[in-house]
Copies of this chain bind each other. A is one copy, B any other.
Amino acid sequence: MTAYPKMTAEERKAEYAKVTKEYEDLKARGLKLNMARGKPGKAQLDLVSDIFDLMQKPEDYVSDGVDVRNYGELSGLPAAKRLFAEILGCRPEQVFVGGNASLQLMYDTISKAYTHGLLRSERPWCREPVVKFLCPSPGYDRHFKVTESFGFELITIPMTEEGPDMDAVEEAIKDPAVKGMWNVPKYSNPDGFIYSAETIRRIASMKPAAADFLLMWDNAYCVHEFEGDFVEFPDILAECAKYGNADMVFEFASTSKITFPGGGISCFACSEANMAYMEKLIGIQTISFDKVNQQRHVLYLKDKAHTLELMKKHAAIMGPKFRCVVDALDREIAPLEIASWRRPTGGYFVSLYAMPGTARRTLALCKEAGVTMTGAGATYPYGKDPQDSNIRIAPSLPPLEELEQAIAVLCVCLKMAALECLGV
A298 sits at the interface (CB 8 A): no
The segment from A64-72, A315-323, A367-375 that touches chain B is A64-72
Distance in angstroms between the alpha carbons of A262 and B145 in the assembled complex: 31
Q: Which of B49, B52, B284 contacts A107 (CB 8 A)?
A: B284
Contact between A287 and B45, CB atoms less than 8 A apart: no
Q: Does A21 contact B (CB under 8 A)?
A: no
Q: A115 touching B104 by the CB < 8 A rule?
A: no
Contact status B284-A99, CB under 8 Å: no
Question: Restricting to A97-129, which residues have a CB under 8 Å from any CB of B?
Answer: 99-101, 103-104, 107-108, 111, 114-116, 124, 126
Of the 9-residue stretches A211-219, A240-248, A288-296, A384-392, which lies at the interface with chain B? Answer: A288-296
Binds B, one of A8-16, A34-42, A403-411: A34-42
Residues in B with CB closer than 8 Å to A72 are 39, 262
Q: Is the CB of B262 within 8 A of A149?
A: no
Q: Give the Cβ gap from A280 to chain B, nearest Cβ, in Å.
A: 9
Within 8 Å of chain B (Cβ to Cβ): is A300?
no
| CB 8 Å contact bits of A274-310 with B (1 = contact, 0 = none) | 0000000100111111111100000000000000000
Interface contact B39-A70, CB-CB below 8 Å: yes
A401: which B residues are within 8 A, CB to CB? none
Query: Is the C-beta of A55 less than 8 angstroms from some C-beta in chain B?
Result: yes
Cβ–Cβ < 8 Å partners of A45 in chain B? 61, 67, 69-70
A262 with B286, Cβ < 8 A, contacts A55-B52, A67-B42, A70-B39 known: no
Size range of the chain A interface in the assembly: 35 or more
Measured between alpha carbons, how far is A309 from B284 in the docked complex, in Å? 33
- CA of A145 to CA of B99 in the docked complex: distance in angstroms? 22
Within 8 A of B (CB), among A256-277: 256, 260-263
Question: Could you tell me the distance in whole angstroms from the C-beta of A317 to the nearest C-beta in chain B?
Answer: 14
- Whether A290 touches B115, Cβ cut-off 8 Å, given contacts A149-B281, A285-B104, is no
Chain B residues whose C-beta falls within 8 Å of the C-beta of A287 in the assembled complex: 101, 103, 261
Instruction: Flag whether A172 is at the interface (Cβ < 8 A).
Output: no
Q: Which residues of B contact A256 (CB under 8 A)?
A: 71
B107 near A285 with CB under 8 A, answer: yes
Known: A70-B39, A71-B37, A292-B262. Is A146-B101 also a contact (CB below 8 A)?
A: no
Q: Which of A49, A101, A262 has its CB near the most chain B CB atoms (within 10 A)? A: A262
Known: A71-B39, A263-B69. Contact between A111 and B115, CB under 8 A?
yes
Asked whether A53 is an interface residue with its Cβ less than 8 Å from the other chain, the reply is yes
A167, chain B: closest CB distance, angstroms? 31
CB distance from A143 to the nearest CB of B (A): 10
Would A262 and B290 be within 8 Å (CB), given that A37-B71, A52-B56 are in contact?
A: yes
Residues in chain A within 8 A of chain B (CB atoms)? 37, 39-40, 42, 45-46, 49, 52-53, 55-56, 58, 61, 67-73, 99-101, 103-104, 107-108, 111, 114-116, 124, 126, 142, 145-146, 149-150, 256, 260-263, 281, 284-293
Enumerate the 8 nearest inter-chain pairs by beta-carbon distance, A residue then B residue, closest first: A263-B292, A100-B290, A107-B285, A71-B261, A126-B126, A52-B55, A262-B291, A69-B260
Inter-chain pairs besides A101-B286, A101-B289, 8 sampled, C-beta below 8 Å:
A45-B69, A49-B69, A67-B262, A108-B285, A115-B150, A126-B126, A261-B287, A262-B292
Q: Can you name 19 A-B residue pairings with CB atoms under 8 Å?
A: A37-B71, A39-B70, A39-B71, A39-B72, A67-B262, A69-B261, A73-B262, A99-B100, A101-B288, A104-B285, A111-B111, A114-B115, A116-B149, A146-B284, A149-B281, A262-B291, A263-B292, A290-B293, A293-B293
